[in-house]
Each structure stands twice: as structure tokens, then as C-alpha cells.
């Protein structure tokens, strides 16, 4: 590949997965070179963006989601994995902060990790049972984790509505747990405006990502669901003595409505894009 234009197109084609390039790389390269003008030395900006976008879609496996139902089932699965990752992050973050662990906390972490594995394998009923068990253990300690709660809802929808849509995810998704631990420590180390900017940036990334894969906003929205619910309802401690007066209260914060509006926007963006792709 001595031609400079061919080399530059070849670099862009690296966006595609290796097995795809092995099967169709020469064909794709030949197609774009045939369409190029004799004097052309660089790919056009629009063409470069299109090649990279299609390559990333192939890497994400978005092309196989040919119906809105497939998009929603895989988006829910990804969302459940993200939620369970953050369910692990909370107790681990407490350990980093020096709070220590009880036997009950260890059980919760093990249930969340087992739930991640079951969700990776698309075992909806098993994952739902493990996640519900983790939520129950926390409730016995008068603690409502909306990471577990939202994951229970997502997995219940998968078990009831998409029971036949079972596609295992790559083991690389196991990295969601340590990644969530790192992100979970961020709010304690940054000022509030930075935290708001992080959420806004997260939503923006999801909205941009919908062009590549409509599952991205659907999965990302579930994290905002958990955050919104955490600001709406839960057990609150009254008084200075631990467990002396813990009550379940429903008191939505103004930010909850903003977050839920973002959730609706992300769900709508993913659904509209999935229907557009169905018609292509």
C-alpha cells in the first residue's frame, strides 16, 4: 500500500474490528479508492467521519440490532450491567474511605458480582433473583440502594418482555465494576458544579452516541434513573444516634425532575433512532 491515499484510507479502516477487515477490508478499500478522484490525496472530512462511524458501529455490534425490540433488550442488558457495577462501587468506596465491611456488606457485593456474571450470560431469571436478593439484604439493614432497585426493574422487564432475546455479552464488560468504583469516588473529590457538569457531559455523550448505536442512550438512561430515585425516596436518619430514628421518606428534590426529563429524552432518542435504522 504505497499510495498515500490508500494508506490514509487504511488507517481509517482500523476503526473496523480485525475480523471484519480480514473478510472485507480489501473490498472496502477498493470501493473508496475507486470513488476517489485521480488528484485526491486525502479522504474528505465527511467520508472520514462516515468510515470511522461505521467502523465503530461494527465494533459495537450495533448492526445486528435490526429491530427496536432488539435495541431495547440489549440496551436494558447494558443498563443493568452498569447499575450492578455501581452497586458494587458503593460498598467498595466505603471500604476505601475506611468505613470497613460487615458480613452483610460482603454478601451484597458477592450477590452484585454474581448478578453481573448472570446478566453477561443473559440469564435473566437468575440475574433478577440475585439482584433482588442483594436489594433485600440491604433493606433488612434499612438501606435502599436504587442501583439495585433500578437493576431489578431492568432485569424484570428483560425476564418478562424479552425472555427469548438472550445474547451473551463479552467478558470485557466485567470491567464495569472496577470502572464504576473509580467513578463513584469522583463526587467526594470535586465541587458540586463539576459534578453537575459531569452528568451534563454524560447525557451529551449519550445523545451523540445515539448516531453510532441506539443502545447507548437507553443503557445510559438507567444510571440517571437510579440517581433521580435516590434523590426522591429512601431511608433517612433523624437524630444523632445511628438507627435510632430511621424513616422511609419520599421527598423529591428539584434535580430529580430534571434528571427524569433527561431520562425521557434519552429513551426517546434511542427509540426513534432504532426505528429509523429499521427502515434503512
Three cell numbers written together for 242: 445511628
Three cell numbers written together for 22: 480480514
Q: Which residue has the higher pLDDT, 11 or 126?
A: 126
Residue 163 clears pLDDT 50, i.e. is over it: yes
Q: Checking phi first, is residue 7 left (phi over 0); if not, alpha (psi -120 to 50) or beta?
A: alpha
Residue 279: closest CA among 66, 55, 53: 66
Going by pLDDT thresholds of 50, 70 and 90, the confidence category of residue 155 is very high
Going by pLDDT thresholds of 50, 70 and 90, the confidence category of residue 49 is confident
Question: Any residues with CB less than 8 A from the CB of 48 and at least 6 apart, and which?
Answer: 12
Question: What's this model's pTM, rounded to 2 decimal places?
Answer: 0.76
Three cell numbers written together for 264: 425521557
Report pLDDT digits (tens) over 170-215: 666 666 666 666 665 555 544 555 667 777 888 888 888 888 888 8
Q: For position 1, what pLDDT does the model report?
A: 45
Three cell numbers written together for 162: 424479552
Question: Any residues with CB less than 8 A from the CB of 99 and at least 6 apart, and which?
Answer: none
Q: For position 11, what pLDDT does the model report?
A: 84
DSSP-derived 3-state class of residue 5? helix
Amino acid at each position: 500500500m504505497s499510495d498515500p491515499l490508500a494508506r490514509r484510507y487504511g488507517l481509517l479502516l482500523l476503526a473496523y474490528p480485525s475480523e471484519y477487515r480480514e473478510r472485507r477490508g480489501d473490498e472496502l478499500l477498493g470501493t473508496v479508492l475507486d470513488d476517489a478522484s485521480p488528484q485526491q490525496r486525502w479522504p474528505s472530512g465527511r467520508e472520514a467521519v462516515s468510515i470511522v462511524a461505521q467502523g465503530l458501529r461494527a465494533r459495537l455490534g450495533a448492526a445486528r440490532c435490526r429491530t427496536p425490540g432488539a435495541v431495547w433488550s440489549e440496551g436494558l442488558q447494558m443498563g443493568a450491567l452498569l447499575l450492578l457495577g455501581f452497586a458494587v462501587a458503593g460498598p467498595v468506596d466505603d471500604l476505601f474511605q475506611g468505613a470497613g465491611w460487615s458480613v452483610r456488606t460482603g454478601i451484597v457485593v458477592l450477590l452484585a458480582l454474581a448478578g453481573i456474571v448472570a446478566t453477561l450470560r443473559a440469564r435473566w431469571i437468575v440475574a433478577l433473583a440475585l439482584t433482588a436478593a442483594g436489594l433485600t439484604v440491604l433493606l433488612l439493614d434499612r438501606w435502599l440502594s436504587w442501583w439495585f432497585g433500578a437493576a431489578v426493574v431492568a432485569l424484570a422487564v428483560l425476564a418478562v418482555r424479552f425472555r427469548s432475546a438472550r445474547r451473551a455479552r463479552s467478558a470485557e464488560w466485567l470491567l464495569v465494576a472496577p470502572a464504576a468504583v473509580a467513578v463513584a469516588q469522583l463526587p467526594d473529590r470535586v465541587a458540586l458544579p463539576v459534578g453537575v457538569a459531569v452528568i451534563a457531559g454524560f447525557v451529551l455523550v449519550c445523545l451523540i452516541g445515539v448516531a453510532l448505536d441506539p443502545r447507548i442512550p437507553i443503557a445510559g438512561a438507567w444510571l440517571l434513573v437510579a440517581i433521580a430515585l435516590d434523590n426522591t425516596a429512601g431511608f433517612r436518619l433523624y437524630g444523632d444516634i445511628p438507627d435510632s430514628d430511621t424513616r422511609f421518606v419520599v421527598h423529591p428534590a428539584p434535580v430529580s425532575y430534571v434528571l427524569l426529563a433527561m431520562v425521557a429524552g434519552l429513551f426517546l432518542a434511542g427509540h426513534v433512532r432504532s426505528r429509523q435504522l429499521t427502515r434503512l
